[in-house]
Amino acid sequence: MDQTGQKRENWGSRFGFIMAAAGSAVGLGNIWRFPYLTGMNGGSAFILIYLFFVFVICLSVMIAEFTVGRNSGKAAVGAYKSKSRNWTFAGVIGVLSGFLIMGFYPVVGGWALAYVVKSFTGLLAAPEAIGDSFGAFIGNPVEPLIWMALFLAMNIFIVSRGVAKGIETAGKILMPMLFVILLLIAARGLTLEGASKGVEFLFKPDFSVVTGQTFLAALGQAFFSLSLGMGCMITYGSYLNKSENLAQNAAIVTVMDTSAALLAGLAMFPAMFAFGFEPAAGPGLVFVVVPSIFAQMGALGPILSAFFFVALVVAALTSSVSLLEVVVAYLMDERSWTRKKAVYISSAIMVAMCIMASLSLGVMSGVTFLGVGAFDFFDILTDKIFLAIGGLLLAVFTGWFVDKEVLRQELTNGGTVSFALFEVWHGLIKYVIPVVIAVIAVTGIMSISQKGLMIFGLAVIAVLALVSKKL
């Protein structure tokens, strides 16, 4: 029972929970961001570092988030607060990150939505203009805003219906569909002549391109892609049934997320190399390369391209609902708001942020704060600072402030399921992960070009920590 006297919502089934959690993890992070980061960071070496972080750090962090969430039965802020008010700030950073990510994520979701339609309306007919038309589209002061609003409206619809009816149903239908589409596209790309160079780029490491920045980028991406470091999985865990095997579920979600990212890489790079494109194209990569690839496939092109962008919308949607849910769950749990009120008011703020983010790529590109526009501000602040620090705080909290026996009981469902690696996991969470994240954060922050932004982010965390008791 919560304060309002209602029983806490629960997932309808195990499959439903896994689809919702994997739906949260698999998103623009896998299909839009992972390929362009891989391209910009030299390919395979980046992927290896990324995989190392995913399986050594993030899997353990996900287990910890599920455990803390289910044990407390509370969303991010409540889970921390139920131990000590000194920790409230760690949850609040998560809610703040939710707002910040939702300040640009729906913009990209809107692009994907637009490209479903554009696939049929002549985009592919003029392949040489695809790059320029993407630039013109995202810089347009009106068109992307309409698509962003549409994308956000779909979020509002799903999240206002609640956990089981909205989020879970969406995940169960949309997630399997996404994997099928990606497999089809990868199969097509891999059978093109010259595709092997792309496979080589993905799997033959060149460590000469690795710097401190590569590590920070890979770590930030690992957290972002697995939806960790902001209490998202704490919140989803809080809706989870006491009979579920937490470690096993975390492993399934992690493997699904990693497969989706690698599959997206396989869907893109071989075809890119076959057609002679540049891998380091940046955030426009998916939107420029994919239509260009499909433009060369004749009559089937527009249909395949539309399929791809539907998959991207689907992936983005199941992720953005989880981001919105973190904010909504906080307002419901801690402020006793109704679900509808929480959804409407928080999305209104997100719309305002998204408008700034979208315009910062066009008419407002001259307006910067600490050296970056709104889009990059929201992105860099979360991905390069808040998520990793959020993960570090969660690890310290779980390892040092939650009783080890409580964790053991929660993870083994009171001794009814086994978790053979409990001691290993606990050691990682308590000692290894905080140190590794701290080292990477420090070296990465020292070598980053946006120093002002880094200092600003750390200052925000410090201020929140100081005023935390009153939150």
Choices 161-169, 179-187, 248-256, 318-326 (CB under 6 A): range interacting with ligand TRP: 318-326
Of these, 16, 27, 166, 189, which contacts ligand TRP (CB under 6 A)? 27
Nearer of residues 123 and 437 to ligand TRP, judged by Cβ: 437
Alpha carbon dihedral 226, 229, 231, 233, in 10-degree steps, equals 20
Sorted by sequence, the CB contacts under 8 Å of residue 127 that are 6+ apart come out as 291, 292, 295, 296
Token pair for 352: 């305002």
Compute CA distances 154 → 24, 103, 161, 216, 470, whole Å. 15, 16, 11, 33, 35
Compute CA distances 347 → 51, 80, 163, 353, 380, whole Å. 34, 24, 17, 10, 21
Sorted by sequence, the CB contacts under 8 Å of residue 213 that are 6+ apart come out as 444, 447, 448
The answer to the question of residue 29 lying near ligand TRP (CB under 6 A) is: yes
Q: How many residues does the chain have?
A: 471
Gap between the Cα atoms of 62 and 194, Å rounded: 39
Of these, 25, 324, 357, 428, which contacts ligand TRP (CB under 6 A)? 25
Nearer of residues 137 and 224 to ligand TRP, judged by Cβ: 224
Nearer of residues 22 and 306 to ligand TRP, judged by Cβ: 22
Which 322-361 positions form the footprint of ligand TRP (CB under 6 A)? 322-323
Of these, 46, 224, 277, 425, which contacts ligand TRP (CB under 6 A)? 224
Longest dimension (CA), the chain: 63
CA angle 141, 142, 143 (to 5 degrees): 115
Nearer of residues 115 and 224 to ligand TRP, judged by Cβ: 224
* Residues binding ligand TRP: number (CB under 6 A): 16
The answer to the question of residue 23 lying near ligand TRP (CB under 6 A) is: no
Which 380-399 positions form the footprint of ligand TRP (CB under 6 A)? 387
Provide the 3-class DSSP secondary structure of residue 369: strand
Contact letters for ligand TRP, residues 86-115 (x by CB under 6 A): ---------------x--------------
Structure letter (DSSP) for residue 142: S
Give one word for 418, left, alpha or beta, with left for phi > 0 and alpha for psi -120 to 50. Answer: beta
The answer to the question of residue 288 lying near ligand TRP (CB under 6 A) is: no
* Shortest distance, position 105 Cβ to ligand TRP, whole Å: 7
Of these, 16, 24, 45, 289, which contacts ligand TRP (CB under 6 A)? 24
Of these, 44, 319, 347, 360, which contacts ligand TRP (CB under 6 A)? 319
Contact letters for ligand TRP, residues 225-254 (x by CB under 6 A): x-x--x-x----------------------
Sorted by sequence, the CB contacts under 8 Å of residue 1 that are 6+ apart come out as 7, 8
What residues line the site for ligand TRP (CB under 6 A)?
24-25, 27-30, 101, 224-225, 227, 230, 232, 319, 322-323, 387
